[in-house]
C-alpha cells in the first residue's frame, strides 16, 4: 500500500463521520456490468468475465454463461478494468499496453495432450511431429516445449526449444500473439528475438514494430523502444502506442545519467549523485533477504534478475505519471522514489517488500491477478496492520457499505487518495482473511490457477470453496467480531 495513504487514513480515523461518508460515496461507484447482445437484448450483471469461447456473468449467487459469439460488447460500469468485448484485449497487471496471449498454443496443447509425460517432454511425439514437415505445427510445438521448460526452470532447454521454433518461424505467420505470450511469461529476451524475426519478415508491418518496441520497453532498452515504436506510429497511428512512446522518451531522458549495480537476484539503476552508497547497499541487502523470504512463502524463485530503479521524487512522477499519493510502483520493474533518504528506514523496508511481492505474484499468475488480491497479498507480506482503521472498516461492513470485491479487480490508479485508501484496506482484509483461515499456500494455489487462465471466482471456489459473495460476508463477519462497536 502506498505509505502516503496510511497518513491520510489515520487523519480520517480522527473524523469517523467523514470517513464513513467517504466509504458510502465510494460504494456508490459499484454499478452493474451491461452485456449487449447482437440480437439487441441487454443483460445487467453483477460481474462478468470473458474468454475466447464464452462470457460468464453473475447475478446474485447465480453464475451463467453464454457464447462469446453472441455478444456485441460489454460495458463495465465500475472503476475496475473493463471486460474485453470480442476481438479486443485486456491489460495484464504490469503490462504497459493491452496484451492477449496466444490461443493457438492453448488449442495445440488440447490437441496434443501427450506431449508431456510426468513433467518430461515426450520425445517420440516430437519426432513424429517433426516428420510431418508442417512448419506451423513444428514451430508451435517447440513453443509449447519452451514454455514448459521455462516453467520447470530449465533455461538452457527452453532457449534451445525457442531457437527450434524460430527455425520454423515461417509457419507462425503473424506473431503478435506469440510475442505477447512471451512477455506475459516474463521472457523479454525471447520476445525480442521473436519480435526482431517478425520485423525482418514483415518490414512494413506497424504491428511487428509495435510488439518489438513493447518487448524492448519491458527489457529496459528504452532507446531501442523509442526507435521501434516511432516506426510503428509512422506506419500506422495507434492511440495505445503513442502514450507508451512518450513514456519511453521520458524514461530515456530521466535515466540518461543513471548507473547500475547488481546482486544475486537484482539489477539496480540509480542516479549516482542522488543515491548514497550506504543506501544502495542497504536496499540490495534488504531485497535479497526479502527475496529469500518470499521464495519460501510463495513457493517460487524467479529465474530472471529483477529490475529496480531508484528515482528522485520529481523523476519518479515524471516517468510513471502516477497519482500523487503513490509511494512506489511495480510495472515489471520496482520503481522507488528515495529523495531525502541517506539510509534504510522501516518505511522504505515495507515499500521494498510490498513492491517485490508484486513481482512474485506477477510471475505466479502470469499477470492475471486481480488488483485486490495483488495488493492484498503485498500488504500481507509487507506486513501491514489495520490498527485503528480496522474499527472504521468494521463499521463500514456493518452498515452494508462495503465495496464488492469484483469492483476492485482493476487498477486503483484512477482513484483519489481517500478512495484508494478504502480500496487498499478492503483488499488487505480479504487477502488477510484467506491467509489466516487457509494459509499462504492457498493464496499461492489461487495465483497458480489464475496463471493457468482460470477466472478468479473459479480459482477461489476450487481452492477455498468460496466465491466473491461468500468471501465478502466472511471478511465482514471477521472484522465486526474483531472490532466490536
- Round to whole Å and give the CA distance between 168 and 201: 12
Listed by start position, the domains of the chain span 33-91, 99-239, 258-365
Would 33-91 and 99-239 be classified into the same CATH topology?
no
Place of cell 523509442: 226
CA distances from 96 to 99, 101, 242, 409, 420 (A): 9, 15, 11, 17, 21
Phi, psi at 308, each rounded to 5° = -130, 135
Residue from 328, 28, 7, 217 nearest 230 by CA: 217
Architecture of domain 258-365: Orthogonal Bundle (1.10)
Phi/psi region, residue 220 (left: phi>0; alpha: psi -120 to 50; beta: rest), is left
Task: Please state which of the four CATH numbers 2.30.30, 3.30.160, 1.10.3210, 1.25.40 is assigned to the domain occupying 33-91.
Answer: 2.30.30
- Round to whole Å and give the CA distance between 164 and 166: 5
Residue from 5, 10, 41, 48 nearest 457 by CA: 48
Contact present, 179 and 207 (Cβ < 8 Å): no
Extract the C-alpha cell encoding 469.
459473495
pTM across the whole model:
0.66
- Round to whole Å and give the CA distance between 364 and 184: 11
Q: Would you state the pLDDT for residue 289?
A: 97
- Round to whole Å and give the CA distance between 75 and 83: 7
Extract the C-alpha cell encoding 208.
511487428
- Round to whole Å and give the CA distance between 314 and 303: 32
Contact present, 380 and 468 (Cβ < 8 Å): no
Q: Are strands 42-45 and 33-37 parallel, antiparallel or unpaired?
A: antiparallel
Question: Hey, what long-range contacts does 143-150 have (CB within 8 A, 24 or more apart)?
Answer: 143/105, 143/178, 143/181, 144/105, 144/108, 144/109, 144/112, 144/115, 145/115, 145/121, 146/190, 147/105, 147/181, 147/185, 148/116, 148/121, 149/121, 150/185, 150/187, 150/303
Burial class (CB in 10 A: 0-12, 13-18, 19+), 249: middle
Report the top-level CATH class of 99-239: mainly alpha
Peptide bond into 179 cis (omega under 30): no
Q: Would you state the pLDDT for residue 168?
A: 92
Q: pLDDT 10s digit of each residue in the chain, 485 long?
A: 455 554 444 444 444 343 343 333 333 333 456 676 654 455 666 677 777 667 777 755 556 667 676 677 776 643 322 222 222 222 334 567 777 778 788 778 777 888 888 888 999 999 999 999 999 999 999 999 998 888 888 889 999 999 999 999 888 889 999 999 898 888 889 999 999 999 999 999 999 999 999 999 988 888 899 999 999 999 999 888 888 898 889 888 877 778 889 899 999 988 867 688 889 999 999 999 999 999 999 999 887 889 999 988 888 887 777 777 788 889 888 999 888 788 889 999 999 999 999 999 998 998 889 999 999 999 999 999 998 889 989 988 998 888 889 889 988 777 777 778 888 999 999 999 999 999 999 999 999 999 888 899 999 999 999 999 999 999 999 999 999 88
- Round to whole Å and give the CA distance between 285 and 67: 52
What is the b/e burial string over 357-386, where b = at least 16 CB atoms within 10 angstroms of the residue's CB?
bbbbbbbbbbbbbbbbbbbbbbbbbbebeb
Q: Would you state the pLDDT for residue 10?
A: 43
Q: Would you state the pLDDT for residue 230?
A: 95
- Round to whole Å and give the CA distance between 255 and 2: 23
Q: Would you state the pLDDT for residue 119?
A: 81
Residue from 134, 69, 70 nearest 108 by CA: 134
Extract the C-alpha cell encoding 336.
522507488
Amino acid at each position: 500500500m502506498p505509505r502516503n495513504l496510511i497518513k491520510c487514513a489515520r487523519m480520517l480515523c480522527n473524523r469517523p463521520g467523514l470517513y464513513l461518508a467517504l466509504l458510502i460515496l465510494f460504494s456508490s461507484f459499484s454499478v452493474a456490468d451491461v452485456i449487449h447482445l447482437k440480437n439487441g437484448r441487454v443483460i445487467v450483471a453483477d460481474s462478468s468475465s470473458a474468454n475466447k469461447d464464452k462470457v460468464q456473468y453473475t447475478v446474485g449467487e447465480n453464475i451463467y454463461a453464454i457464447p462469446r459469439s453472441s455478444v456485441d460488447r460489454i460495458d463495465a460500469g465500475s472503476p475496475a478494468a473493463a471486460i474485453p468485448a470480442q476481438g479486443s484485449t485486456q491489460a495484464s497487471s504490469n503490462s504497459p499496453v493491452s496484451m492477449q496471449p496466444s490461443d493457438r498454443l492453448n488449442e495445440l496443447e488440447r490437441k496434443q495432450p501427450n506431449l508431456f509425460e510426468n513433467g518430461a517432454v515426450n520425445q517420440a511425439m516430437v519426432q513424429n511431429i517433426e516428420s510431418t514437415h508442417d512448419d506451423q505445427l513444428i514451430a508451435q510445438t517447440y513453443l509449447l516445449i519452451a514454455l514448459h521448460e521455462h516453467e520447470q526452470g530449465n533455461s538452457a532447454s527452453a532457449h534451445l526449444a525457442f531457437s527450434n521454433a524460430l527455425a520454423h518461424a515461417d509457419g507462425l505467420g503473424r506473431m503478435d500473439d506469440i510475442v505477447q505470450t512471451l512477455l506475459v511469461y516474463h521472457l523479454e529476451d525471447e520476445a525480442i528475438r521473436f519480435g526482431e524475426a517478425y520485423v525482418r519478415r514483415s518490414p512494413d508491418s506497424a504491428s511487428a514494430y509495435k510488439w518489438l518496441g513493447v518487448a524492448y520497453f519491458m527489457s529496459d532498452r528504452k532507446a531501442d523502444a523509442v526507435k521501434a515504436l516511432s516506426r510503428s506510429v509512422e506506419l500506422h497511428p495507434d492511440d495505445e502506442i503513442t502514450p507508451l512512446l512518450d513514456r519511453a522518451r521520458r524514461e530515456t531522458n530521466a535515466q540518461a545519467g543513471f548507473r547500475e549495480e547488481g546482486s544475486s537476484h537484482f539489477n539496480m539503476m540509480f542516479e549516482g549523485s542522488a543515491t548514497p552508497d550506504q543506501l544502495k547497499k542497504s536496499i540490495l541487502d534488504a531485497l535479497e533477504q526479502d527475496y529469500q523470504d518470499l521464495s519460501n512463502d510463495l513457493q517460487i524463485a524467479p529465474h530472471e534478475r529483477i529490475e529496480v530503479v531508484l528515482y528522485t521524487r520529481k523523476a519518479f512522477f515524471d516517468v510513471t505519471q502516477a497519482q500523487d499519493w503513490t509511494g512506489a510502483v511495480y510495472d515489471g520493474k520496482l520503481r522507488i522514489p528515495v529523495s531525502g533518504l541517506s539510509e534504510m528506514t522501516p518505511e522504505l523496508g515495507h515499500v521494498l517488500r510490498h513492491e517485490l511481492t508484486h513481482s512474485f505474484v506477477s510471475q505466479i499468475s502470469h499477470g492475471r491477478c486481480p488488483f485486490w488480491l495483488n495488493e492484498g497479498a503485498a500488504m500481507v507480506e509487507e506486513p501491514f496492520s489495520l490498527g485503528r482503521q480496522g474499527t472504521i472498516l468494521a463499521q463500514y461492513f456493518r452498515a452494508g457499505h462495503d465495496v464488492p470485491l469484483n469492483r476492485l479487480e482493476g487498477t486503483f490508479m484512477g482513484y483519489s487518495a481517500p478512495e484508494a485508501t478504502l480500496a487498499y484496506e478492503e483488499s488487505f482484509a480479504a487477502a488477510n482473511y484467506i491467509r489466516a483461515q487457509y494459509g499462504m499456500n492457498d493464496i499461492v494455489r489461487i495465483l497458480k490457477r489464475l496463471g493457468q487462465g482460470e477466472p478468479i471466482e473459479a480459482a477461489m471456489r476450487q481452492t477455498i470453496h468460496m466465491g466473491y459473495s461468500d468471501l465478502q460476508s466472511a471478511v465482514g463477519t471477521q472484522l465486526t467480531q474483531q472490532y466490536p462497536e
